[in-house]
Amino acid sequence: MFVMLALAAILLVRHLYMISVLPDELQQGQIFRIIFFHVPAAIAAMCGSAVALVASVLFLITRKFKYDALAVAVTEVGLAFLAVNLVTGSIWARVIWGVWWAWDARLTSALVCWILYAGYLILRQALEEPTQRATFAAVYSIFAFTDVPIVIFSIRWWRTLHPQPVFFTKSGSFPADWTFTLVLNLLAMSLLYAVLTMIRLRQEHTMREIDFLRREAHAV
Amino acid sequence: MRFARQVLVILAKDLRAEMRTKEAINASLAFALVILLILSFAFDPSEETTREISGGLLWIVFTFAGTLVLNRSFARELPNDCLDALIAAPVPRAALFVGKALASFVLILAVEIVALPVFGIFYNVRWARQFWPLILVLLLGTWGLTAIGTLFSALTVNIRLREVMLPLLVYPLMIPLLLGAMQLSALLVSGQPITGDMTVWLRLLVGFDIIFTALSLALMDTVLMG
Amino acid sequence: MHLHALVPVLAFLQAESDPIRAEIGRLQRNFQGLIWGFVAAWVILLLYTLMLMLRERKIRREMERLKSMLQEGGKQ
């Protein structure tokens, strides 16, 4: 894990350097560089939600708590990354569109996604018994994932204020050196995500041990 | 078909239980009418704004009133261990889900059918110009609400703060569905048919209905066993 | 991009007329937005990491407490 931490650190330093040492600015001006946070955070969060879905399904099938731990860890970290996405997007919107927020399909569904995953954590808090908590949280997580395809495809299905897809389509008009930096940033963010998830996973494991020890201690 | 008969038995049981006390449906209807009344003060009754907000307004009313019915769906089974009896009964959980969902569906639909003319009167809107498409949207939207609401009613039945948790969990999940229903309802109440761009909302409604129903059927077992 | 190159240009342009001043304002707001964006992103991530660290400390303390409780219980 510390290897990953070191790698993440290196990549992050590199990404800071790269953002400032880039040739062009586009029509939007300097603010466009915010894309190096905005997009990788979104991609990381969406991948995280996919992992949460798989973990939830696996928990329901196998009933092994390690999957439940993975689900909550990934969702919690995902909440932070999604917040980064929303806030950087909002600042970007304020500079370019003049408003902090707009209710188009992409923004609305992204906000709903954040609310859904916050709801996941709230649900977990409301349930004390570990098995019930894990089961119901898993069920909710599966339902929550129904919003994710909407977030991803909203700019294709509706006319939105949010810009059209540039990366995963053939008709993208993104300069190559920017793409390289973006991919590098994505790698850095993903590593950060993974490291945070692992920390959170370990905490979850410890908390489960505490539960167990607490029961033992009260029995004694 | 045995499954159909089991569903009908549960459906009939729920409706009969509800009709005896009329708790949920009275509360739901009263709530719907009160919201309509209060919101009529909040908005200036000029025709254009009313038609624009009609979709959102109607579905706020339907969703809030529907939650009252859905909460009761499984909460009704708590006294006298009826819930345990239902789970132990030799009925497939899917039949239990469909039966209860249909019962709630009928009840919520009844409230909606009453609320629509009241809406027309309070807000001075001729809502019936696209009557059958509007009914279709009503059916689709209400089924989505009911499908996911019934599952989460079972899920939250034993949680503390049940009355709050059900809306808290279900409303965000329903936002895409609600958006579709609201957009279509606003369109239809203002007398225009569903064409072109707006058909994407219809597809969204149908898609979510299918997904929610499938997921709820699959997960009902898990939720009831806890 | 060489920011230090921009400074003398900006200083020169300061003396000029309204549309240029407006353009400078726009560029400055633009750049400020970028800085705020970066700050926000980092702050959120750091805040979350902080939350994790705090929770780590809390559960470590709890662990120690329980372990000592069990040890005392075992002795008795």
Summarised one tens digit per residue, pLDDT across range B162-199 is 888 999 999 999 999 999 999 999 999 888 887 887 88
Q: How close A220 comes to chain B (CA, Å)?
A: 30
Type of residue numbered B77: E
Give the pLDDT band of residue A194 (cuts 50, 70, 90): confident
SS3 A99: coil
Average pLDDT over residues A130-136: 93
What number of C-beta contacts closer than 8 Å exist between A and C? 93
Give the pLDDT band of residue C4 (cuts 50, 70, 90): low
- Whole-number pLDDT of residue A163: 81
Choose between A71 and C42: higher pLDDT: A71
The verdict on residue A17 lying in a domain is: no
pTM: 0.87
The verdict on residue A171 lying in a domain is: no
Choose between B136 and C19: higher pLDDT: B136
- Whole-number pLDDT of residue A175: 67
User: What ipTM does the predicted assembly reach?
Assistant: 0.89
Q: Measured between beta carbons, which residues in chain B are less than 8 angstroms from residue A115?
A: 172
Mean pLDDT, chain B, rounded, equals: 90
Give the pLDDT band of residue A73 (cuts 50, 70, 90): very high
Number of independent structural domains in chain A: 1
Q: How close A215 comes to chain B (CA, Å)?
A: 22
Separation of alpha carbons A45 and A56, rounded Å: 16
The CA-atom distances, in angstroms, between C5 and each of A189, C27, C39 are 31, 15, 24
- Alpha carbon distance, N-terminus to C-terminus of chain A: 37
Of A84, A95, A200, nearest to C30 by CB-CB distance is: A95
- Whole-number pLDDT of residue A159: 78
Q: Measured between beta carbons, which residues in chain A are less than 8 angstroms from residue B150?
A: none
The verdict on residue A104 lying in a domain is: yes
Give the pLDDT band of residue A68 (cuts 50, 70, 90): very high
**Ordered DSSP codes for A152-177:** HHHHHHS--SSPPP-SSSTT----HH
- Of A214-218, B99-103, B128-132, which range is least confident? A214-218
A206–C49 C-beta distance less than 8 A: no
Residue B103: both structure tokens together:
């019962």
Chain C residue set in contact with A, beta carbons under 8 Å: 1, 3, 26-27, 29-31, 33-34, 36-38, 40-41, 44-45, 47-49, 52, 55-56, 59-60, 62-63, 66-67, 69-70, 73-74
- Whole-number pLDDT of residue A5: 67
For residue A47, the enclosing domain spans 34-163+176-219
The verdict on residue A7 lying in a domain is: no
- Whole-number pLDDT of residue A168: 61
Of B151, B165, B222, nearest to A135 by CB-CB distance is: B222
* pLDDT for residue A112 is more than 70: yes
The CA-atom distances, in angstroms, between C37 and each of A76, A86, B118, B190 are 22, 11, 49, 42
Average pLDDT over residues A135-158: 91
Q: Residue B46 gets which letter from DSSP?
A: -
